[in-house]
Chains A and B, each alone.
Chain A
């Protein structure tokens, strides 16, 4: 501290102009009564002594020096010393200041220590980057004279200062309009003018940073950013806000994990998918569902990517919980309108869930205890430099144990219901330009409510991703992996007919994606993707020695889906930009019913910013889908089977047009958006009445092709920072289907348009978090929607000894409207930064009003009378407590 003070004083002395003060009256020749600054002026101006002086304004004393020449100097310095000044000589110069020691040499190793602390290494070119942590210095980028046309490209990685993890979604920009945003690996690339440039970095819940650069040519600048110390009264324009106005893409929703953890959910387990369902345009058929519906699409029309792997069943316990462990998740991005050109294969949306890299600086972890599950994770570096990191997480449930606690007569006592999942991620930074990541995921679910019938399903995914930057303008992300999903039901009730019915998917993929920054106006994304599908539509096998079940395996379905794609992000002006892309898809189903399909897909979206806070966008997308989920259950179906397009089952083809207006108000703290869309899908899969879907070699005979159309308006207000944050959204939308062929009286609803099963016109959602203090916060989640369509009985008839039901036209009635309010209070007992562990507790109530929301309605024959019943999954308040322990 003393050293710093000294340096500061020296700087002051050097930089401040020394002003001469008014001299006093002469006492006699050579003898003066003057104030101290006049004395110093005399020494400097008259005697020509190089004196540097810091005036003490409190010093009002007068000095009289009666001497000549050198004696005057000595006498004057002696007087000053008597009055408490320090007078020191260094390198032929005299320094006069009050009350400080003068240190002539810096401590041994001062600069080495400082360099280590700041991790500063100024290296020009591609091999390494400057790592910036301090804003009050000037960073030199590139070699002098190498800038082409007065422009240069700067690239780098943004990492978290505490953990060393790359940070996604950080806006990198200049006041002159240059803009970039970090990708999933924390990488950015931006074109800057040569010369002095202020480059700013802004990220969600991170301290904003601005660096002063001298740009000579292409170069690298890595940045570490710190988590923002939460300002209860402050407000900041967030990175998302900047992205919204800068990017031409629309219909993108980003949710950070710390937001996910605040939203109250059933049993207190932070749940990625449940939070996704609170976003506008995203709906589900109920609390327990195997997926979500985006803008009127079916659940299988969403591509769910966990890192780069495809998850075919993203839920545990048939949809009660999602398959993602919140401890290892970084963020979630949902594309529901402008789907980037590198993604394809699904009609409605892409949900990208990204896990974190491990902490690069120290081993740390967390532990969470909930009512249904426990979870833990560990992460850290595998080498001293933190170039290789790992993160591993796992969850398990104790619902089995809970079922055992229930009374024997409850019907659940003999049941089993358990699940678990494991995540593993390893990241290795080869050098500043190359990173390789490997990730793996395994989950299993097992369910049984009787001793002789059990269900199980498993996800197993693994992938490797290599990121490379070559030159300042080019980068490559090459990913490859393998995904499997399997389902099995085992029935051993009758030894002779005991069986095991299983289905499964295996999928291998390779996907190189290149990015080239052509200029400040054009950024190209191009590449290819290859996905090989290998489906087992059904295997029906004997279970046990006594079984006479004949082994039966349906023919495997194999297909290759290839795509070439290219897109340009064109910044026409500061206000206008255009994203345009083309994706050519080729699909070949080989084996039985072989068929080749191909389709060009268009992705185009543009924006115009009227001001920095008001932007209009519009977009148009076409999509093709070759793999279809076969499930005749509206709600949940653990035995989801999948079917490839072939000669009989045509690919689903869809397009969507959308436009929107985005505004930022209240000093940038509140985002407002309004989006309107219309979409249409051909060959939307639906089912004939009474369709038999299991082990059916002629499955296509049970399917019907429908034309789907959906339209809607989504309004949203969002506040990401401040004491009160969250979002409110209202969606009005419709989703309809109509059978494309005329099958006479068997045609669904006579060939008229009918409501899709997830058509819920009115949808109001609110997610709010209020932070009273740094320790206490309150969260609320409110959900209202129109009841979903159902097919209900409209008459009864006596048949085969009982009353049977005749049903209405498909989906012509609705269940009662849905309303739910969840509340939670989070308490964080301590904020000591150096404490070994940090514990937080969340108390909450799911469905606080106890409303009996209808999940489905059904009818029973009770003593000859048909009675209607309503099934409510969470029919009362569900209190919960969740303990989280985070190791530091």
Chain B
């Protein structure tokens, strides 16, 4: 009787706990085309600005970058700090962006971000004139921690020395190395119908990606006795298949001080993104930014610009130390192909991996007429969106 009761109760709870989230398509066409401008002015460092347009929820085309804009930071002393347009990404980010050297902006003056867009028509967008936030604490270091059962990874910061408590945001730039599922040691030349070995360090097994961390990293020290954070978790993940932590991740954080209005904007963005729809979630918010079309103030523009002096810190996360990442692979089983099938499979986006060695064969030189092939996404890391642009001074001897 007791075990029956236990089973009944467990069933009730499991039913409740296990079967409660389903895919849902609200069939909303949505809105497209609103201008989106991102780029806090990081005085003392490089300001990175991204200009794009909003997409409908159902769009699969990726980020709709605006690539031909004229972007600059304007100081109230009249100086304009012009942006360099990185149409195809840079060492900072893979996405198209504009980089502005704002190391010498006069901190005692107000400044604003200006974006001139020419497509489809000329429009002049500018943020409010902003006081440059100063006097915050200094970012000492960042660190990674993994809990005992390796179910959660935290990125932590340490800072100190602020004159008064306030609001902070950390702008991140991350670059990480990852690998394909299979390391191919040969490649196929369709014109010759031949398979040749890679030479030297040539491979498509290791790739690198550069993106700003997707997490919104903000904090308030208003409730503390001093303007100081120790081992403060700016973001955490419980996604053990997070590619950033698969091999080596270099994270640079730029700590800026926010105005209360900017903090409220980022807090609302954070809530809208990560909390919306839950049992205890606040209602999603319609955000009001501080950038507008100077000639058409009624045009809705997405973005909030903050200006602050910054301090930075960088840290590597090594999977060999943290051991947080876990991926069982996608279960692909390579196929063994003879020469006459190579071209067909190649055209079907398969790639050779290595020479096939039957189990009963003891001669490890293999059978040169048969190779194991697999879909390209399992052996070409570029298919996942990365590239072979290895950062200078990358600590691992991977190429």
Residues of A at the B interface (CB closer than 8 Å) are 267, 288, 318, 371-372, 399, 402-403, 405-406, 410, 412, 493-494, 496-497, 499, 540, 548-550, 552, 632-638, 687, 689-692, 695, 745-746, 757, 791-802, 804-810, 813, 852, 854-859, 861, 864-881
Is there a chain A Cβ closer than 8 Å to B283's Cβ? Answer: yes
Contact among B21, B57, B231, B276 with A795 in the assembled complex (CB-CB below 8 Å): B57
Contacts A745-B288, A856-B281: A549 and B12 contacting too (C-beta < 8 A)?
Answer: no
Contacts A795-B54, A806-B34, A875-B19: A865 and B281 contacting too (C-beta < 8 A)?
Answer: no
Report B332-369 CB contacts with A as 1/0, cut-off 8 Å.
Answer: 00000000000000000000000000000000000000
- State in angstroms the CA–CA spacing of A147 and B93 once bound together: 99
22 contacts between A and B (CB under 8 A): A402-B13, A405-B13, A496-B230, A548-B224, A548-B228, A632-B282, A633-B282, A635-B279, A793-B30, A795-B34, A796-B56, A797-B34, A797-B302, A810-B283, A858-B281, A861-B214, A869-B277, A870-B23, A872-B19, A873-B20, A876-B15, A879-B12
CB <8 Å contact, A548 and B302: no
CB <8 Å contact, A854 and B24: yes
Task: Kindly count the residue-residue contacts between A and B in the assembled complex, taking CB atoms under 8 Å apart.
Answer: 233
Binds A, one of B70-78, B263-271, B371-379: B263-271
Contacts A632-B282, A791-B283, A805-B273: A406 and B13 contacting too (C-beta < 8 A)?
Answer: yes
Inter-chain pairs besides A796-B56, A796-B57, A872-B21, 19 sampled, C-beta below 8 Å: A267-B12, A371-B12, A406-B10, A494-B231, A550-B223, A636-B280, A638-B280, A689-B286, A690-B265, A690-B287, A691-B282, A794-B28, A795-B54, A799-B38, A801-B172, A861-B214, A869-B22, A873-B279, A875-B20
Q: Which residues of A contact B9 (CB under 8 A)?
A: 371-372, 402, 405
- State in angstroms the CA–CA spacing of A548 and B286 once bound together: 34
Is there a chain A Cβ closer than 8 Å to B386's Cβ? Answer: no
CB <8 Å contact, B8 and A807: no
Least CB separation from A403: chain B residue: B13
Q: Which residues of B contact A877 (CB under 8 A)?
A: 15
Residue in A499, A634, A638, A801 whose Cβ sees the most chain B Cβ within 10 Å: A801
Is there a chain A Cβ closer than 8 Å to B175's Cβ? Answer: no
Is there a chain A Cβ closer than 8 Å to B312's Cβ? Answer: no
Chain B interface, number of residues (Cβ within 8 angstroms): 80
CB <8 Å contact, A881 and B233: no
Q: How far is the CB of A797 from chain B (nearest CB, A)?
A: 4
Q: How far is the CB of B194 from chain A (nearest CB, A)?
A: 36
Q: How far is the CB of A439 from chain B (nearest CB, A)?
A: 32
Secondary structure dominating the interface of A: mixed
Q: Which residues of A contact B287 (CB under 8 A)?
A: 689-690
Contacts A552-B223, A746-B288: A857 and B283 contacting too (C-beta < 8 A)?
Answer: no
Q: How far is the CB of B20 from chain A (nearest CB, A)?
A: 5
CB <8 Å contact, A633 and B273: no
Is there a chain A Cβ closer than 8 Å to B163's Cβ? Answer: no
Q: Which residues of B contact A861 (CB under 8 A)?
A: 214, 273
Top-9 shortest CB links A-B: A858-B277, A690-B268, A802-B214, A801-B212, A689-B285, A870-B24, A632-B282, A875-B19, A801-B214
Contacts A798-B63, A799-B269, A805-B273: A637 and B280 contacting too (C-beta < 8 A)?
Answer: yes
Please report which residues of chain B, range 282-306, place their CB below 8 angstroms from some CB of chain A when the two chains form the complex. 282-288, 298, 300, 302-303
Is there a chain A Cβ closer than 8 Å to B32's Cβ? Answer: yes
CB <8 Å contact, A793 and B8: no
Is there a chain A Cβ closer than 8 Å to B25's Cβ? Answer: yes
Contact among A635, A692, A806 with B54 in the assembled complex (CB-CB below 8 Å): A806
CB <8 Å contact, A406 and B17: yes
Contact among B16, B25, B213, B223 with A868 in the assembled complex (CB-CB below 8 Å): B25
Q: How far is the CB of A746 from chain B (nearest CB, A)?
A: 5
- State in angstroms the CA–CA spacing of A872 and B22 once bound together: 8
Least CB separation from A451: chain B residue: B147
Q: Which residues of B contact A403 (CB under 8 A)?
A: 13
Least CB separation from A791: chain B residue: B284
CB <8 Å contact, A856 and B278: yes
Is there a chain A Cβ closer than 8 Å to B272's Cβ? Answer: yes
Q: Which residues of B contact A635 (CB under 8 A)?
A: 279-281
CB <8 Å contact, B57 and A866: yes
Q: Which residues of A contact B224 (CB under 8 A)?
A: 497, 548-550
Q: Which residues of A contact B28 (CB under 8 A)?
A: 792-794, 808, 813
Contact among A288, A497, A871, A873 with B229 in the assembled complex (CB-CB below 8 Å): A497
- State in angstroms the CA–CA spacing of A402 and B5 once bound together: 11
CB <8 Å contact, A871 and B8: no
- State in angstroms the CA–CA spacing of A637 and B95 once bound together: 39
CB <8 Å contact, A550 and B24: no
Least CB separation from A268: chain B residue: B12
- State in angstroms the CA–CA spacing of A441 and B335 once bound together: 71
Is there a chain A Cβ closer than 8 Å to B129's Cβ? Answer: no
Q: Which residues of B contact A405 (CB under 8 A)?
A: 6, 9-10, 13
- State in angstroms the CA–CA spacing of A875 and B113 once bound together: 49
- State in angstroms the CA–CA spacing of A690 and B260 once bound together: 12
Q: How far is the CB of B366 from chain A (nearest CB, A)?
A: 36
Least CB separation from A370: chain B residue: B9
Q: How far is the CB of B397 from chain A (nearest CB, A)?
A: 28
Residue in A403, A405, A412, A861 whose Cβ sees the most chain B Cβ within 10 Å: A405
Is there a chain A Cβ closer than 8 Å to B216's Cβ? Answer: yes
CB <8 Å contact, A880 and B12: yes
- State in angstroms the CA–CA spacing of A402 and B21 once bound together: 21
Is there a chain A Cβ closer than 8 Å to B50's Cβ? Answer: yes
Contact among B52, B216, B223 with A549 in the assembled complex (CB-CB below 8 Å): B223
- State in angstroms the CA–CA spacing of A493 and B12 once bound together: 31
- State in angstroms the CA–CA spacing of A349 and B23 once bound together: 38
Least CB separation from B172: chain A residue: A801
Q: Which residues of A contact B12 (CB under 8 A)?
A: 267, 371, 878-880
Q: Which residues of A contact B276 (CB under 8 A)?
A: 805, 858-859
Q: How far is the CB of B211 from chain A (nearest CB, A)?
A: 6
- State in angstroms the CA–CA spacing of A494 and B157 once bound together: 12
Q: Which residues of B contact A866 (CB under 8 A)?
A: 57
Q: How far is the CB of B217 from chain A (nearest CB, A)?
A: 9
Q: How far is the CB of B95 from chain A (nearest CB, A)?
A: 8
CB <8 Å contact, A633 and B280: yes
Q: Which residues of B contact A865 (CB under 8 A)?
A: 60
- State in angstroms the CA–CA spacing of A253 and B359 once bound together: 80
- State in angstroms the CA–CA spacing of A403 and B179 once bound together: 39
- State in angstroms the CA–CA spacing of A355 and B182 once bound together: 70
- State in angstroms the CA–CA spacing of A810 and B284 once bound together: 8
Q: Which residues of B contact A793 (CB under 8 A)?
A: 28, 30, 57, 284
Q: How far is the CB of A356 from chain B (nearest CB, A)?
A: 30
- State in angstroms the CA–CA spacing of A795 and B36 once bound together: 12
Least CB separation from A693: chain B residue: B282
Report B225-237 CB contacts with A as 1/0, cut-off 8 Å.
Answer: 1101111110000
CB <8 Å contact, B302 and A799: yes
Is there a chain A Cβ closer than 8 Å to B92's Cβ? Answer: no
Is there a chain A Cβ closer than 8 Å to B31's Cβ? Answer: yes
Please report which residues of chain B, range 26-72, place their CB below 8 angstroms from some CB of chain A when the two chains form the complex. 26, 28, 30-32, 34, 36, 38, 50, 52-57, 59-60, 62-63
Q: Which residues of A contact B272 (CB under 8 A)?
A: 804-805, 807
Q: Which residues of B contact A864 (CB under 8 A)?
A: 62
Least CB separation from A800: chain B residue: B216
Q: Which residues of A contact B25 (CB under 8 A)?
A: 868
Residue in A399, A494, A793, A798 whose Cβ sees the most chain B Cβ within 10 Å: A798
Q: Which residues of A contact B6 (CB under 8 A)?
A: 405
Is there a chain A Cβ closer than 8 Å to B128's Cβ? Answer: no
- State in angstroms the CA–CA spacing of A864 and B94 once bound together: 15
Least CB separation from A881: chain B residue: B8
- State in angstroms the CA–CA spacing of A548 and B224 once bound together: 6
Is there a chain A Cβ closer than 8 Å to B215's Cβ? Answer: yes
Residue in B9, B172, B211, B265 whose Cβ sees the most chain A Cβ within 10 Å: B9
Q: Which residues of B contact A757 (CB under 8 A)?
A: 283
Q: Which residues of A contact B212 (CB under 8 A)?
A: 800-801
CB <8 Å contact, A800 and B269: yes
CB <8 Å contact, A796 and B54: yes
Q: Which residues of A contact B280 (CB under 8 A)?
A: 318, 633, 635-638
